[in-house]
Structure 1
């Protein structure tokens, strides 16, 4: 039996119970969220006389845009938010991506900050398909923090 340093049995949660909040409000039922990623840039510095390796030093943190996808609905709040950016009015919003466990209790939360839409994508239309029409919006942001639950 595996035990971690806190002597707690490992628990794995499904990736299908989640929701997204913007400015504390649940704005839509998204079917997919991606881009919850950060990466440290590495600067390679060769040192004269040492040919066996190169020093690798940490640099800036690179953040991916959050990509939120959902089925098309009667509401247009994502489109309107993006059109504000197109018209030169950037309305930044804070938000959260929240995962739930099997009992619908909050399991993890990632709060992201100062986000605004940088891209909106409409559905791919195909007359011979019966798939749901999906729209997506990409949000650039100034970082996120995992909140311990």
Structure 2
């Protein structure tokens, strides 16, 4: 029985492409959002409220995490290309189901790498070897998903 509403956005992985470089899929994507910075102004004689004036929009850094895999070499190659100079790039993040069906997609503007963290390699503590890539950006656009 269908309700006429789209399926919920249950995502399993996030595909990441920066310019023409496919960085692969990540299991976790944190920080996709925005905050409108407000400036408060009091008006003389107006005691009922304080004006809330929007001044700018702030975008938090995005953190992408996954277990180490073959695609880690793509991330390393992309980061190595920054040694000659960091220039802002465009990117896309695609939320996908387990069947690789696209649920949602965002385009990122002015992307630059902030930090890459590799796994802690310790034989005494057998855990999944994770990598985390943190990127900054200057805004995003939601892309229309077909279907």
Give the alignment's TM-score, normalised by structure 1.
0.78
In structure 2, the partner of 1:67 is 63
Structure 2 gap segments, 5+ residues each: none
In structure 1, the partner of 2:127 is 131
Does residue 56 (structure 1) correspond to residue 52 (structure 2)? The answer is yes
Does residue 33 (structure 1) correspond to residue 29 (structure 2)? The answer is yes
In structure 1, the partner of 2:14 is 18
Q: Name which of structure 1's ranges 53-62 and 121-130 shifts more when overlaid on structure 2.
A: 121-130
Pairwise CA distance, 1:101: 4.3
In structure 2, the partner of 1:99 is 95
Secondary structure of the equivalent of 1:111? strand
Secondary structure of the equivalent of 2:94? strand
Secondary structure of the equivalent of 1:76? helix
Structure 1 gap segments, 5+ residues each: none
Secondary structure of the equivalent of 2:26? coil
Q: How many pairs are equivalent?
A: 142
Pairwise CA distance, 1:145: 0.3
Cα distance in structure 1, aligned partners of 2:142 and 2:115: 25
In structure 2, the partner of 1:78 is 75
Pairwise CA distance, 1:68: 1.3
Pairwise CA distance, 1:41: 0.7
Give the alignment's TM-score, normalised by structure 2.
0.79
Contact 1:79 1:120 in 2 (8 A): no
